[in-house]
Chain A
């Protein structure tokens, strides 16, 4: 066991997979010699060599394009895009190719790539360095979408993503990269994709979130001071999401609040609410509400605390639903 934060868990996971499977290749801007903008690949090039941990040109579309070609030819590339805002230039490769290779080749080829990228705001960074685009990838058939919220899940989900035969977008919660430490196993373990995690069981209300917002939800629950019995569900995988776990929880509590830091319209909460309506409408005691960012581009640092959901807003939402 070793005390680890999220970014260290990424490094551990990469190291474990590089050692386990010689086909695994880590690639991206400054991932080799430099060790990565957030130090996620620190020391890996020294350990596994420049052929396994590859510095690439500053060209996101090409990074993903190369990774796809390598994957189709048998390698397991793990590409890093420095910030999720830079993913936009990779869309042609991801949406037009990575997500379609299995279908296009009628199952003869798959595309086992992982694209790692830090996402989200709350660190007073610049424009395009704070994006939360999980719903965009969830809306793309053929791509899997994973967002861990803690060190243990980060290592387990990353291992599962690298071993998965299909392309996986791996969103790393940059804001809490170093804000949570856990004593996690050094040995090989996997957290399966597509399974939500009930962090805390409760009977009054289901609180669903993922990534960095899980920590914010925990703060809100703590501030509730046992006023209500809240079941906190960490979705962990956005696509394919664990509809069963959500239905089971909401069926039990009858009330639900969903929190995400992505903007509201077309956010992933909308999909979850649709699923809840389809599966457990008859159990609902109140409308399912979402606590989200407003429908505007991510603001400059001074305004980000108004943009991002915080514990106060989550508590307000919980009260609204509980008093319906």
Chain B
């Protein structure tokens, strides 16, 4: 790059000097230390030696002109440099000068045209539309457009039913409904994430869907509340242990469930309102005691029914429950075995739950939740004893059953379990 020889700060308070005369001209070749010209400061007239060997490209100040400290006096193209270096440098300098904000004139800097422009308004079409064009032809309020965006409805194909063909909220909602039907017939697009992160989406179908609908129907229809009781089953546990061996010979695995189902069925005979359902203005009190038993499976929750439980003995009920559970798990359960229940028992004790609030198997009026049997210290006759206790949770429909009614039912049930009374009256 050509050398810019700037007027040096020579000290002694000298800020400027006058170029008395130049001893060289632009285009001259000079040697290092050759005098370039004479400068007069307020101290003296001095000769100015060239700092470089080369060609004088430009003398920045005319003879007689004033130069300040730091300003370029001479530009020298050094010996090893080419003409194109010189050209580039001068152009760059010219550009630099142009970019310096200058505020010395009220007129400022007014840009010059580079070429001749056509007359404006000679109708030229701009680029291909990305919007499909004429989007504004759709007549809809911003609120409707927003709804369309949310429901992913293309307004350009919606027929407006409002004033002057305006698309209304309900037009968009209808179009969204139609689109949904189309989606069912065609490809379904699922999004793998939501606003907060990645998600998996499982289609709700089959038993799960039926259970979901049933649970929602139950909770929104019946006025449900739950009473909780602890039943002492120490003696029953002993009985169960005794009978277990007997049953095993017949290939039946005995649990508490058959006893509870049997006891429930027997008690329900005296507590009709817990074996009932509400149909419009009428309460239907059922004279059959079919006890549903909630069974968990991979496909969802099933409630097969032990029919006429009040008539069956423990062994028979145990056999029924085992068969029904097996049928459910192997998906061979008979439809009739899933119908006709009048009361349900749900056992979460096997998975470690104590008290809980089961939801009524609507339209039944009550459900018994059986928790895990645990040994607990119990005060009996002034002494603390270790007893086997089962937590029982009875949810009932308060439209049909009162709290006291439910409590009386539970009292009779607990009495049967405690005293191991599993025979008809």
Contacts and interface: CB of A to CB of B under 8 A. Distances in A.
Nearest to B166: A282
B107 A37 contact: yes
B57 to A, nearest CB: 29
Contact of A152 (B105, B115, B119): B119
Nearest to A300: B103
B137 A283 contact: yes
Given A201-B123, A201-B126, A125 B111 contact: no
A202 B140 CA distance: 21
Interface in A305-324: 322
A83 B142 CA distance: 43
Interface in A177-215: 177-184, 197-204, 214
B130 A229 contact: yes
B136 A283 contact: yes
A254 B138 contact: yes
A281 interface: yes
Nearest to A177: B110
Contacts of B134: 203, 252
B126 A221 contact: yes
Contact of B127 (A174, A214, A227, A301): A227
A320 to B, nearest CB: 15
Contacts, number: 155
Contacts of A3: 116
Contact of A283 (B101, B108, B115, B138): B138
Nearest to A38: B107
Contacts of B131: 203-204, 229, 253-255, 285
**Majority SS at the chain A contact face:** mixed
A199 B130 contact: no
A221 B125 CA distance: 12
B220 interface: no
Interface in A110-151: 123-126, 129, 149-150
B173 to A, nearest CB: 18
B129 A280 contact: no
B112 interface: yes
Nearest to A230: B126
A9 B115 CA distance: 16
A181 B106 contact: no
B199 interface: no
B109 A123 contact: yes
A198 B110 contact: no
B113 interface: yes
Contact of A285 (B119, B128, B145): B145
A199 B120 contact: yes
A200 B121 CA distance: 7
A226 B116 contact: no
A31 interface: no
A258 interface: no
A253 B136 contact: yes
Contacts of B117: 150, 180-182
Interface string A152-164: 1100000000000
Interface of B: 101-103, 105-113, 115-121, 123-131, 133-142, 145, 166
Given A125-B105, A150-B120, A228-B130, 19 more contacts: A149-B120, A181-B117, A198-B121, A201-B125, A202-B127, A203-B129, A204-B131, A221-B126, A226-B126, A227-B127, A229-B125, A229-B133, A234-B120, A254-B135, A281-B142, A283-B136, A285-B135, A301-B103, A301-B108
23 contacts: A123-B108, A123-B110, A123-B111, A124-B103, A125-B105, A149-B120, A152-B119, A174-B110, A178-B111, A180-B117, A182-B118, A197-B120, A203-B133, A204-B131, A204-B133, A227-B127, A229-B126, A229-B133, A252-B136, A253-B136, A254-B136, A281-B142, A322-B130
